[in-house]
Structure 1
Amino acid sequence: MVSIFTLRIGRLGLLLCGLLACVLTVHAEDKECAIVLLHGKWGNPQYIAFFGRKMEPVCSFKSLEMPWAERRAYDQPYAAALADIDAQVKAFRAQGYKKVLLAGHSFGANAALAYMATIGDADAVVALAPGHSPALTYERGIGRGAVDKARELVAAGKGDERLEMEDVKQGKKRSMRMRADVLWSYFDPDGLGHMPKTAAGFKKPVPLLWVVGTADPLFALGQDFAFSKAPANAKSQYLVVNAGHLDTPDVAAAQVLAWIKNLD
């Protein structure tokens, strides 16, 4: 025999479940913004996650581990990295987010530009202290021999051969070993890593926030290096902050948050 107490508990449970469902429904319908975060060279997802947490008042975020991470050491070509970014963009859209942004630091910013030039499904881009400039390093002779050899091997159908090259990050050099086709995908002076080209090639004119610190080596090149080449958008902004290359995301976080809030 079912007691009055049991009936009351059951009704209370149904009421609580109903209220919880209402709360979940409100949250599901309140998904305005999500950000795919991309870390810099020789880094890891945690390097940019701190910045992501500062965006949480307006946007959810997911920080990806990219092939140029410390642990991965260029284990996949650039096209595969862009496919991973696109998979996360699509995942956020499937979850019901109304806007999906890309935000990258250094090499991650480079990848955000490359993504917009090849796939182009993001609604806005935040480029924090953009880095990785294969044309500039090639001109200076850094890794040039390996890049030239990679070009030859790829053209000969021998992209699976492994090469060693000297990689550089903010003046620090490191010997890296990778497949020739992988090396060429990242270090081709006129390829996916060439930011003036990828900025000019955006698939659509989305808002672009370019953030550079006064102590960043790229600061001297100004807006015309790549930012001005992107398709015009009324919300785009070239933001200069008093920072170096590594601390730009933290220094600029409040201004980036304000910019995102103003996208509507």
Structure 2
Amino acid sequence: MAPARRRLLLALLLAPFAAAAAVADGGNSRIGIVVMHGKGGSPTKFVAELAERLEQQGFLVANLEMPWSGRRNYDVTVDAAAAEVEAALSSLRAKGAQRVFVAGHSQGGLFALYFGVSHAVDGIIAIAPGGSVNSPVFRDKLGDSVELARRLLADGKGDEKVPFLDYEGSRGTSPVLTTPRIYLDWFDPAGAMDQLKAVRALNPATPVLFIVPTGDYPGLLRVKQQMVDALPRHPRTKLYEPDASHLGAPSASVREIADWLVGVANPR
């Protein structure tokens, strides 16, 4: 084989590895990703391994504490939460990220989908997304709290902190202390946290890695196909089903997420 042809063949064979190496080495194809935990969680719980291992592979990572954490107790509105994510993306760009992504687990996955509707990102990773307030179970469990918040807001008490209820499939209802205005922003069934509405409103140009573990909660498994079917068509949009539980899904998906990020950021 002629030397020139041999060099060309070698270059073609090594191209995928070169793209990955460019990311790991902080080269021209720098990738930034915002990671968001699930309801009542924190950056140090079920998304911690995902964030750490992506950082070890050279990705630029912002692992955020979001308003639905166990500590923050819904302390800001949906728009303010989106502004926190946008600020994190701007920080990643300032550090050299040329492609930016949002990823979230459980409610964080739902918020990643919502965020991607109206904010410019190169891709969305929804890991076992859940918490859709327009689902029948949420309407049943939280209906009284939603009506209370509406009455208080109508009475001019929208900014006074009041105890309400939140709901999470594995542990039932739990108390949250926030204002009626903020509570309605998150929990109004016709509001932002309607998962199907968010999925249907996504920009077709934005690819989605939609992760549903085989051991996910029954309610989320029941709506899996409906959600996948509602995703806009994109050649890089993909359903991944790791052999894991709801809580174990982020750790079980690290390799798939890393490969998908590189593939989207470095299309061939």
Q: Any idea what SS the aligned residue of 2:140 has?
A: coil
Deviations 1:28-66 (A, max 9, x none): 754510110101111111122310122232522010111
Q: Is the 8 A contact 1:104 1:128 kept in 2?
A: yes
Do the aligned partners of residues 227 and 157 (structure 1) sit closer, same or farther apart at CA in structure 2, a change above 3 Å counting?
A: farther
Q: Is the 8 A contact 1:89 1:121 kept in 2?
A: no
Q: Any idea what SS the aligned residue of 1:101 has?
A: strand
Q: Is the 8 A contact 2:104 2:110 kept in 1?
A: yes
In the alignment, the residues of structure 2 paired with residue 131 and residue 124 of structure 1 have an alpha-carbon distance, to the nearest angstrom, of 19
Larger radius of gyration: 1
Residues 126-165 of structure 1: pairs in structure 2 closer than 5 A: 126-136=125-135, 141-155=140-154, 157-165=156-164
* 4+ residue segments displaced more than 3 Å: 27-31, 137-140, 152-158
Deviation at 1:262, TM superposition (A): 1.6
Aligned to 2:248: 247
Deviation at 1:111, TM superposition (A): 1.1
Deviation at 1:110, TM superposition (A): 1.2
Structure 1, unpaired ranges of 5+: 1-26
Q: What amino acid maps onto 2:232 in structure 1?
A: P
Structure 2, unpaired ranges of 5+: 1-24
Do the aligned partners of residues 138 and 148 (structure 1) sit closer, same or farther apart at CA in structure 2, a change above 3 Å counting?
A: farther
In the alignment, the residues of structure 2 paired with residue 205 and residue 120 of structure 1 have an alpha-carbon distance, to the nearest angstrom, of 12
In the alignment, the residues of structure 2 paired with residue 79 and residue 30 of structure 1 have an alpha-carbon distance, to the nearest angstrom, of 32
Q: Any idea what SS the aligned residue of 1:46 has?
A: coil
In the alignment, the residues of structure 2 paired with residue 204 and residue 97 of structure 1 have an alpha-carbon distance, to the nearest angstrom, of 23
Q: Identity of counterpart residues, as a percentage?
A: 29
Q: Is the 8 A contact 1:205 1:230 kept in 2?
A: no
Q: Is the 8 A contact 1:105 1:127 kept in 2?
A: yes
Residues 24-103 of structure 1: pairs in structure 2 closer than 5 A: 29-30=27-28, 32-47=30-45, 48-56=47-55, 57-103=57-103
Q: Is the 8 A contact 2:204 2:234 kept in 1?
A: no
Q: What amino acid maps onto 1:142 in structure 2?
A: K
Q: What amino acid maps onto 2:49 in structure 1?
A: F
Of residues 221, 231, 234 in structure 2, which corresponds to 1:219? Answer: 221
Q: Is the 8 A contact 1:51 1:250 kept in 2?
A: yes
Aligned pairs, number: 236
Aligned to 1:259: 260
TM-score, with length taken from structure 1: 0.82
Q: Any idea what SS the aligned residue of 2:233 has?
A: coil
In the alignment, the residues of structure 2 paired with residue 239 and residue 183 of structure 1 have an alpha-carbon distance, to the nearest angstrom, of 33
